[in-house]
Amino acid sequence: MDRAPFRIAVLASGTGSNLQAIIDAIADGRLPARLAGVFSDRPAAPALERARAAGVPAVAVRPRDFANRLEFDEYLFSRVDSVHPDLIVCAGYMRLVSELAVTARPGRMINIHPSLLPAFKGLHTHRQALDAGVAEHGASVHFVSPELDGGPVIAQARVPVLPGDDEATLAARVLQREHPLLLATLQLLAHRRLLLDGDRVRLDGQPLAHPLQLNDDNATLQPPDPINPPAY
């Protein structure tokens, strides 16, 4: 018997280009999933418009309507839970998720972060990379933990830092790899091949010693070379 479609809820605060990549991949059959709802802390977030245009429930919850972060999260996630997601995807969601909300959903929340974690957590990651003078930068998809950008990393996509790069050119190069990275990771999750086991990521039951790497084809993920794992 076919399983029910894999239900995804997305949290987004801004532009929503990662959300749009999910919408497009579901629409053209590349991602076997259903977008159950999009939720934002910013009523004016363009991501909400993208959801509405795709006929997906779009919910804005304003933090200032709540006494504190915990009450905001409690209400927001009650709305998220009401669409019964198998997975919650933070895609350009700019708020720290409370420990209570995270621990109540073990292995069911991922985030895409524009750096090669554990390098450059937090904000302004491209500026951090340029200031550090690294030759490589990129993006990571990780399970959400109570620590900001601290959960187990599932997969990464790498880009070169080029001479003359500024934040805008580097951010654009990273963003172009974020979308296929997120989709390739969601493919594995939708096929229930990836799961979180404690603080280890398992693919097909095997623990991942290092994050999967997005190939240059921008479509497939592969385990890194165990002899020469990628430097962070």
Among all residues, which ones are annotated catalytic?
113
Which residues between 152 and 181 bind ligand GRF (CB under 6 A)? Answer: 175, 178
Which token pair is 6? 């894999």
> Residue 29 has what DSSP assignment?
T
- Does 8 bind ligand GRF (CB under 6 A)? Our answer is no
Helix or strand (DSSP H, E) at 214: strand 212-214
- Does 16 bind ligand GRF (CB under 6 A)? Our answer is yes
Please report how close the Cβ of residue 201 comes to ligand GRF at its closest, in angstroms: 19
Please report how close the Cβ of residue 121 comes to ligand GRF at its closest, in angstroms: 12
Please report how close the Cβ of residue 185 comes to ligand GRF at its closest, in angstroms: 13
CA dihedral 110, 116, 120, 122 (to 10 degrees): -20
- Does 18 bind ligand GRF (CB under 6 A)? Our answer is yes
Looking at the Cβ atoms of 30 and 202, the one nearer to ligand GRF is 30
| Tally of CB atoms within 10 A around 164 | 5
Binding mask 74-93 for ligand GRF (x = CB under 6 A): -----------------xx-
Q: Which among 11-19, 128-136, 197-205, 209-217 is the span making contact with ligand GRF, rule CB under 6 A?
A: 11-19
Rounded-to-integer distance, Cα 135 and Cα 129, Å: 9
The gap between the terminal CA atoms of the chain, to the nearest Å, is 43
The beta-strand segments (E) located in 102-178 are 109-113, 136-143, 153-160
Q: Which among 112-120, 130-138, 154-162, 214-222 is the span making contact with ligand GRF, rule CB under 6 A?
A: 112-120
Please report how close the Cβ of residue 145 comes to ligand GRF at its closest, in angstroms: 16
- Does 114 bind ligand GRF (CB under 6 A)? Our answer is yes
Looking at the Cβ atoms of 173 and 202, the one nearer to ligand GRF is 173
115, 106 Cβ separation under 8 angstroms: no
- Does 112 bind ligand GRF (CB under 6 A)? Our answer is yes
| Tally of CB atoms within 10 A around 210 | 15
58 by Cβ neighbours in 10 Å (0-12 / 13-18 / 19+) ranks as: buried
**What is the C-alpha radius of gyration for the chain, rounded to an integer number of angstroms?**
17
- Interaction site with ligand GRF (CB under 6 A): 12, 14-19, 91-92, 112-114, 175, 178
